[in-house]
Structure 1
Amino acid sequence: MFLKAPLLLGLLVLGPHVCSSNFVDISKSSSFFAMCVEFAMFQFNQAHPDEYAYKLLWVGRSQRKRWTMTFLMDLEMGRTICKKYAEDIENCPLQEGPGEKKVDCTFIVDARPWFSQFTLMNSTCMQK
């Protein structure tokens, strides 16, 4: 009985913090989520050493951390024929043949959209 009391006390103290860090599914069409996707894509293109821009092909997971404006997303991106600094990357065709590349990435973005502040907390990408 006495050994269970510290465990129960620990769960009561730590429980809310552990549970509050859970991500929950959200709509892919949420305006704040869409802004975070755009920000993550921009950051990826800026940091990637390739001279060609990548554009969004597919959104997998779309989640938000409870009680925060921290978003988790899985994105599939494809390499375009346009350079990184082109103005209309969304309408730029994908490369085909030997230049064709796709990347799967997971991003975590912290957002303060009312201040136009976005922070890339984490990104992990794998070439397909």
Structure 2
Amino acid sequence: MAQPLCTLLLLLAALAGAQAWSPKEEDRMISGGIYDADLNDDEVQHALHFAISEYNKATEDEYYRRPLRVLRAREQVVAGTNYFLDVELGRTTCTKSQPNVDTCAFHEQPELQKKQLCSFQIYEVPWEDRMSLVNSRCQEA
């Protein structure tokens, strides 16, 4: 009689431990799902900086753009990581050729700031030291 009771108690303890484990952490280990990303995470910041840098290289505007705010950041674990970033960009007073453009002031006049809403998809394979801007869509805000 004692052994079935012990087995039942062990089973209940195992179930309680499984319930205590955060489903969000467990889900992050599963490939394919898209989850909210932590903007303070170094990898997310690296992906954001990479996307903005690639965006600025591709545009013909002589002025550098930088994020006004990040609207949404998500990530997906695949054979590497996909980052999906929705960002509001503003036009700065600095030209792209200037050093330290990451701290440039934004234009004060709204017509010169030319805000844009952009969605970026960045794919990173860290063990191959590879990152690419897979998709970039922007529209005037």
TM-score by length of 2: 0.71
The 5-angstrom pairing of residues 1-128 of structure 1 reads: 20-67=31-78, 68-97=80-109, 98-128=111-141
Aligned to 1:71, the other structure's residue is in SS state: strand
Give runs of ≥4 in structure 1 deviating > 2 Å: 19-22, 112-116
Cα distance in 2 between the residues matched to 1:84 and 1:116:
26
**1:45, 1:53 within 8 Å by CA — same for their partners in 2?**
yes
CA RMSD in angstroms comes to: 1.7
Aligned pairs, number = 110
**Percent identity at matched positions?**
28
Cα distance in 1 between the residues matched to 2:40 and 2:118:
19
Gap regions ≥5 residues in structure 1: 1-18
Gap regions ≥5 residues in structure 2: 1-29
Counterpart amino acid of residue 81 in structure 2: M
Aligned to 1:42, the other structure's residue is in SS state: helix
